[in-house]
Amino acid sequence: MRNYKNSKIILRSAFYFLLSTFLVGCATAPTGRLARIQERVTIAGADYVPAQALAQSFGLDYQWDQITKKVILQKDEQEARFMAQSYVALLNQNARTMDKPAQLYQGSLVIPATFVRTNLSRFFQQEYIEQREIAKVSGDFPIKTVILDAGHGGKDPGAIGRRGLREKDVVLDISQRLKKKLNNYGVKVIMTRETDKFVSLDERSRIANANTRSADFFISVHANASRSKWTSGVEVFYLSESIDDNSRSLNALKDCGLNIKDGFSGKNTQAIIMDLLLSEYRRQSKKLARFICNSISKDLNQKNRGIKEARFYVLKAYIPAILIEVGFISSPAEEKKLQQGFYREKIAQAVADGIVEYNRCFDKTRSVRY
């Protein structure tokens, strides 16, 4: 009996010891979203978090430029930029100084863990993101007119799938379906082509620029292609600039030849205004691109390849513009889907849903067109 009682006492003591150890461990464990990031590296005695691991933890869009050694992390309207060997981080274009520089580690960028904990954890929290006034979906849309551009056409078939499906036919059919849906939402649609005819890139840009006063967006619809038949998914592009917005504005001011002593003649006013507007158009384009890309990926259960910058000629218009790649026609699986009318219908609906969602979250204090 004494042995039995001693065994109970030992087991009870062991239980309380393990419980106290567990509670102490919980009390001293790191708190917040940073605790979820398992991957850490140590450089010269300092802790760093790989940018890619950070993106996975917070559900961020991750862009890595191997040439410039820059990383962009994005979520909704929040954007953080880092560069190797730099102490400066840009959070929505606001400079923040880190106690240690971002570093290159095994071919990728790592960020000081202290900066992640004290700045990024809060910056990317959903409740911290500024909430804009949500507009009810009604006949009064912020986007009231769209220029819809079905890529290729006529003598230009675009990409051709392994079963012979032509890009020009797919995107025209999707664009026509999308036009009907947008019209039902009260959005006017201007088509660059409504039949199987060839329209040059210059003509498409001319149509866009001729309607800058009335149209809100230029949307070009395409199907992608790759040498690999395994490549698949949806991606949306917006216009890229070779230099940042601040440099572009500065260059515009330098180029205008303004001389304070001579006074301002206003000769280059329009050029400066258009340069500033381009920066605003890029922001709007990026926002719509994200909504549409997410909508197509979600509604069609399609791989989301994200939003990307590009120097496509057709996007160079004085109006917000995006180019949608609805799928890879070079992928046998996606080509088979794109051949089916109901799948094209779902794509058109997903794009329309993305535009509706953009309108819901649209800040009504948008730029005035000049």
| 197, 325: one domain | yes
In a domain, 114, yes or no: yes
| 40, 101: one domain | yes
| 233, 264: one domain | yes
The CATH number given to whatever domain includes residue 289 is: 3.40.630.40
pTM beyond 0.75, yes or no: no
Mean of all residue pLDDT scores within the chain: 75
Whether residue 12 is predicted with pLDDT greater than 60 in this model: the reply is no
Range of the domain at 73: 33-123
pLDDT digits (tens, 9 = 90+) for 157-200: 999 999 999 999 999 999 999 999 999 988 999 999 999 999 99
In a domain, 23, yes or no: no
| 192, 78: one domain | no
- Among 117-121, 339-343, 347-351, which is the least confidently predicted range? 117-121
245: part of which helix (H) or strand (E)? helix 245-255
| 115, 149: one domain | no
| 324, 192: one domain | yes
| 192, 339: one domain | yes
183: part of which helix (H) or strand (E)? helix 167-184
27: Cα separation from own chain's centroid: 38
Residue 89 vs residue 31, higher pLDDT? 89
Closest alpha carbon to 189 in 231, 136, 245, 149: 149
In a domain, 5, yes or no: no
Closest alpha carbon to 82 in 115, 124, 127: 115
| 68, 195: one domain | no
Is residue 234 a contact partner of residue 354, using CB atoms and an 8 Å limit? Answer: no
Alpha-carbon span 235 to 223, nearest angstrom: 10
Q: Bridge-partner residues for 307, per DSSP?
A: 236
The CATH number given to whatever domain includes residue 88 is: 3.30.457.10
- Among 13-17, 91-95, 232-236, 302-306, which is the least confidently predicted range? 13-17
| 215, 339: one domain | yes
Confidence category of residue 123, pLDDT binned at 50, 70, 90: confident
Whether residue 10 is predicted with pLDDT greater than 90 in this model: the reply is no
In a domain, 117, yes or no: yes
Closest alpha carbon to 223 in 112, 140, 53, 339: 339
Confidence category of residue 279, pLDDT binned at 50, 70, 90: low
In a domain, 180, yes or no: yes
Question: What is the bridge-based pairing of β-strands 61-65 and 88-91?
Answer: unpaired
| 217, 69: one domain | no
16: part of which helix (H) or strand (E)? helix 2-28
| 340, 251: one domain | yes
Alpha-carbon span 305 to 308, nearest angstrom: 9
With tokens 């691109």, the residue in question is 289
- The pLDDT, as a whole number, for residue 160 is 93
Closest alpha carbon to 281 in 355, 234, 350, 212: 212
Phi/psi at 258 (nearest 5 deg)? -70, 130
Number of domains, the chain? 2
- The pLDDT, as a whole number, for residue 280 is 66
Whether residue 66 is predicted with pLDDT greater than 50 in this model: the reply is yes
| 112, 155: one domain | no
